[in-house]
Amino acid sequence: MEKSNRRRVILFPLPVQGCINPMIQLAKILHSRGFSITLIHTRFNAPKASSHPLFTFLQIQDGLSETETITDDNTLLFTLLNRGCETPFRECLTKLLQYTDSETEEHKEKISCLIHDSGWIFTESVAKSLKLPRLVLNGYSISFFCSHFVLPSIRREEYLLLQGSEKDDQAQEFPPLRKKDILRILGEKRELLEPYLNTIFQTTKSSSGIISMSCEELEQDSLSHAREDFKLPMFAIGPSHSNFPASSSSLFTQDETCIPWLDKQQDKSVIYVSFGSLAKMSRTELIEIAWGLSNSDQPFLLVVRVGLVNGTIPQELLERLNEKGKIVKWAPQQEVLKHRAVGGFFTHNGWNSVVESVCEGVPMICLPFIWDQFLNARFVSEVWRVGMHLENRIERNEIERAIRSLFLGNEGEAIRERMKLLKEKVERSVKQNGSAYRSLDHLVDHISSF
């Protein structure tokens, strides 16, 4: 780590796994550049402070009831969090600033800025009242973040009434999504969507800059559009997680026994299957996936986390699965994707998972479930062309066909070659003089200027 620059940065992640991971990664990066780190977090889904002894963790109340913490409606969850956290956050931040002001000159640290997840929308008024500069961390791809503000207007135009073959057409308002993807996104419970997105847009535009865990090599056109739309400093600092393992920021207990199991498998032979921390599926869907894996004759590592499915896998199928693969409740994903034995990733296409897969050169089979996952899957399968899209066909024959094609077919071979080239490009971006490396330097200079 570089010597302390006597500056402190306050970080405030949204309390879901996909938002905590990039915020902790950013904390590690900034700490390595000499900044002290204070992380304010909610009681709900609190990160493990013991895993990060060099950071200061401050917990605030969030006002959520037990019932509210298990809602399937993320927009509702985030709206409730914004209502419940404003006063506790303001009080916590005010005390921090007062404490800093009272320190002796010898130990005095300047609080440079607040960096918060884009989903926190009350932070604008709090930071403004305390005269604290504020940057926004975007946990999505830049492509989704810039385009998803059109969703309320698409809903108002009665997009849901579209019928027939038109559903396979590209959505001109939100490329490269198909119209059927838009239907699935808007089919979720989204009564609070319009006011929430409008406020995110306004609070982002009034910030001092946007930080993204993406890079020019993945989203050059989208980054150009974002700079035009927001007219703010844009810091695409790249998939810097490769320098800092993410296991310490996991909200789930990881089953490390899968690594010795992978050690026994042949190179590039295993299909890793994980659908992230939020996806839910029916028992029937899980059974179809399980049979598809079993019938493919490829060894597999299947993650079935608590809450993924209602019900259990039949014992007969479970016994067959255990003969050919391994089932765990949660896996150390970065370590798994790095492993020589893993040759494919059957994924929900969360942005963190997509970027990690690209960084390790592992081609994907795409089965998106919610929100930005649909756009990420289109980028994987149609823009970068480093994976296959199941198009929501959760059928054993389709899954078996996709796995066999990826591991044994000509299409899979072409995908692997494109993935190898994309991995090399992204690797260059985070090395000295690469686009993401330069962007990180600019971010450090920007924070230091406050």
CB of 13 closer than 8 Å to CB of 39: yes
Q: What confidence score (pLDDT) does residue 242 get? A: 63
d(CA 90, CA 67): 25
Query: For residue 214, what are the contacts with CB-CB under 8 A and spacing of at least 6?
Result: 141, 142, 223, 236, 238, 239, 355
Note the pLDDT tens digit of each residue in 52-99.
999 999 999 999 998 888 887 888 899 999 999 999 999 999 999 987
d(CA 266, CA 160): 47
Look at residues 18, 32, 97 and name the one whose alpha carbon lies nearest to residue 333: 18
d(CA 368, CA 392): 8
Same domain? For 198 and 309 the reply is no
* Number of structural domains in the chain: 2
> Is 23 contained in some domain?
yes
> Is 54 contained in some domain?
yes
Same domain? For 262 and 216 the reply is no
Long-range contacts of 220-224 (CB under 8 A, 24+ apart): 222/141, 222/142, 222/143, 222/146, 223/142
> Is 175 contained in some domain?
no
Q: What confidence score (pLDDT) does residue 75 get? A: 87
Same domain? For 224 and 125 the reply is yes
For residues 344-354, average pLDDT? 96
> Is 197 contained in some domain?
yes
CB of 159 closer than 8 Å to CB of 193: no
CATH code at 97?
A: 3.40.50.2000
Same domain? For 208 and 258 the reply is no
Same domain? For 19 and 103 the reply is yes
> Is 179 contained in some domain?
no
- 406 compared with 307, residue with greater pLDDT: 406
Judge whether residue 293 has pLDDT over 70. Answer: yes
Judge whether residue 240 has pLDDT over 90. Answer: no
Note the pLDDT tens digit of each residue in 116-155.
999 999 999 999 999 999 999 999 999 999 989 988 888 7
Judge whether residue 44 has pLDDT over 60. Answer: yes
Same domain? For 310 and 399 the reply is yes
Percent of the chain with pLDDT over 70: 92
Cα distances (angstroms) measured from residue 160 to each of 149, 157, 170, 192: 17, 8, 15, 17
Judge whether residue 244 has pLDDT over 80. Answer: no
Same domain? For 422 and 434 the reply is no
For residues 285-305, average pLDDT? 93
Kindly indicate the confidence band of residue 410, based on its pLDDT and cuts at 50, 70 and 90: very high
CA angle 240–245–246, rounded 5-degree value: 90
CB of 230 closer than 8 Å to CB of 310: no
Same domain? For 440 and 406 the reply is no
Instruction: Locate 306 and state its tokens.
Output: 């608590």
Q: What confidence score (pLDDT) does residue 246 get? A: 55
Query: For residue 421, what are the contacts with CB-CB under 8 A and spacing of at least 6?
Result: none
Judge whether residue 365 has pLDDT over 60. Answer: yes
Average pLDDT, the chain: 90
Q: What confidence score (pLDDT) does residue 165 get? A: 52
Same domain? For 363 and 440 the reply is no
d(CA 57, CA 48): 9
Amino acid sitting at position 407: F
Q: In what order do the strands lie in the sheet with 325-328?
A: 325-328, 300-303, 270-274, 342-347, 364-366, 387-389
Q: What confidence score (pLDDT) does residue 343 get? A: 97
> Is 180 contained in some domain?
no
Q: What confidence score (pLDDT) does residue 332 get? A: 92
Residue 448's CB is within 10 A of a number of other CB atoms, namely 15
CA angle 186–138–180, rounded 5-degree value: 20
Note the pLDDT tens digit of each residue in 300-312.
999 998 888 877 7
- The domain of 307 spans 251-427
Name the strand (E) or helix (H) holding 60: strand 56-60
Backbone angles phi, psi at 12, to 5 degrees: -140, 90
Kindly indicate the confidence band of residue 271, based on its pLDDT and cuts at 50, 70 and 90: very high
Note the pLDDT tens digit of each residue in 153-208.
887 776 555 555 567 888 888 889 998 898 888 876 567 888 899 999 999 999 99
Instruction: Locate 19 and state its tokens.
Output: 């938002």
Q: What confidence score (pLDDT) does residue 122 get? A: 96
Same domain? For 208 and 341 the reply is no
Q: What confidence score (pLDDT) does residue 408 get? A: 94
Same domain? For 419 and 435 the reply is no
Q: What confidence score (pLDDT) does residue 84 get? A: 95
> Is 161 contained in some domain?
no
- 406 compared with 159, residue with greater pLDDT: 406
User: Diameter of the chain by CA atoms?
Assistant: 71
Kindly indicate the confidence band of residue 243, based on its pLDDT and cuts at 50, 70 and 90: low
Q: What confidence score (pLDDT) does residue 6 get? A: 85
For residues 411-423, average pLDDT? 96
For residues 243-261, average pLDDT? 77
For residues 215-242, average pLDDT? 90
Judge whether residue 384 has pLDDT over 80. Answer: yes
> Is 167 contained in some domain?
no
Judge whether residue 324 has pLDDT over 60. Answer: yes
Kindly indicate the confidence band of residue 386, based on its pLDDT and cuts at 50, 70 and 90: very high
Same domain? For 434 and 375 the reply is no
